[in-house]
Amino acid sequence: MKRARSSDEEEEEEEEDDDDDEMDEEEIALIQERAYEACIGEVRELVGPEAPNLLRDTTKRICAVCPTRTEFTGWRGLIAHAETIRDRKKFVNRHRGYYRALVEVLSPNSRMHGTTPTPAQKMKHEVSKEKLRSFKIEEKKELVASSRSAIEAALNEATQSLETDRARREEMQRRFAQEISRLDEDFERRMRRQQAEFEKVNLMLREKLDFQDSKTEKEKMDHLEYLQRLRAKESRNAQETALKLQAMENKKQQFEASVREAEEKFRQEHDSLEMDLIERESKEILELQMQFEKEIAEAMKESSNTPVAAAPPSSDKKDECSHCLEDFENCGTRALLIPCGHALMCMECAKKVQQEHKSCPHCRAPIEQVHKFYK
């Protein structure tokens, strides 16, 4: 007799190995009860409707609890093995539950052979199932509380960082406004000075022209040359003034560009911080949800009256893309859908679904962004 061992049972065995030295009587009783419930159906099916002759039975029997195919001669050898095993500490309690199932089915005076459990046995089973459920729910409550505290601390830190960025941005805007005001005042002051010089030159030219009416022709020619030099100087001054104004305008534009670049940088940092926070929260919530659902399913499976066959592989399991059904190690990186937080597809399938359907195939929520999922 050999029973298929699922990955869930192997994980439970590893957990029992870690806590074997710390188990109390209640936990030992629960482990034995679960082993009994898992093996009783298979033992009944192998034994059949009639109890065998234990003294004459020499058929090779295989233990359903041992991880290796260990053979024993007849039902008596298998019962003795399940009752007396001591060398492998982690399987002792499972073998005791298996021993109970063997004795109950093979005993000539058994009332459970081929019948339903008594009310007292049903009551004991329900009490054990309720204890197991309350134990796992308390663990989940503590895990959710610690996760909530971590998320709140991260939110507070992000809020403080955003407040600091806002204060820095306001300080930059204030300095920018002061610099613009100073440049405007300087520009107006230069323009007033240039206007005063221009009016002074015009007044001097008019006086010179009036004076030339009473001068000789030679003096007029000299005066014309002087006027030409004066006009050339005025033209040069005007060009220099225009160049200075252009340089000031260029400086003003460069300053405005640097301010815009700083604002864009602050905005990108803010968006990056916010997106990292969303990804971290989505990943933690998804992991908690998957772990909680998995352990609840295990608890319900273990507490059932009859053994349940291992569930067939599903496209929703952790290491497989729900769209192309390929392992994430083969098809690429896992994708995180924003804002719903589902991470059940690879990056290639997630981008294809975003382009074609625009919504999550699991919850129908609109897909705004697709990011790499970090474990």
Name the percent of the chain lying above pLDDT 70: 75
Model confidence at 303: pLDDT above 70: no
Confidence at residue 1, expressed as pLDDT on a 0 to 100 scale: 44
pLDDT band per the 50, 70, 90 thresholds, residue 374? low
Given a contact cutoff of 8 angstroms between Cβ atoms, the answer to whether 36 and 98 are in contact is: yes
Residue 89: pLDDT over 80: no
**Does residue 181 carry a pLDDT above 70?**
yes
Mean pLDDT of 349-365: 87
> Percentage of the chain surpassing pLDDT 90?
0
Rounded (10°) angle between helices 119-212 and 25-47:
120
Reply yes or no on whether the pLDDT at 279 is more than 60.
yes
Instruction: Look at residue 140 in the predicted model and tell me its pLDDT.
Output: 66
The amino acid at residue 353 is V
Residue 354: pLDDT above 60?
yes
Measure the N-to-C terminal CA separation of the chain; round to a whole number of Å. 41
Q: Is the pLDDT of residue 167 over 60?
A: yes
Q: What's domain 328-372's superfamily in CATH?
A: Zinc/RING finger domain, C3HC4 (zinc finger) (3.30.40.10)
Domain residue spans of the chain = 7-115, 135-302, 328-372
Q: What is the mean pLDDT of residues 79-92?
A: 70
More confident residue, 374 or 329: 329
pLDDT (0 to 100) of residue 15: 47
How does the average pLDDT of the chain come out, rounded?
75
Both tokens of 75, joined, read 């039902």
User: What pLDDT, in 10s, does the model give residues 105-132?
Assistant: 887 544 333 444 555 555 655 665 565 5
**What SS3 state is found at 18?**
helix
Residue-wise pLDDT tens digits, 7-49: 445 545 544 444 445 566 777 788 878 888 888 888 888 887 7
Q: Which of 73-82, 161-170, 328-337 has the highest mean pLDDT?
A: 161-170
Q: Which residue has better confidence, 363 or 284?
A: 363
Under the banding of pLDDT at 50, 70 and 90, the label for residue 331 is low
State the alpha helices, DSSP H only, in 110-118: none
Q: Specify the higher pLDDT residue, 205 or 111.
A: 205
Q: What is the pTM of this model?
A: 0.28
Segment 55-83 mean pLDDT: 81
* pLDDT of 75 above 60: yes
Asked if 3 contacts 69 with a C-beta cutoff of 8 angstroms, the reply is no
Q: Residue 309: which pLDDT band, with cuts at 50, 70 and 90? A: very low
Given a cut of 60, is residue 312 above it in pLDDT? no
Q: What is the mean pLDDT of residues 316-341?
A: 76
In this structure, of 58-72, 105-119, 221-235, 249-263, the range with the lowest mean pLDDT score is 105-119
- Listing DSSP states for 308-356 in one string gives -PPPPP-TTSTTB-TTT--BHHHH--EEEEETT----EEHHHHHHHHHH
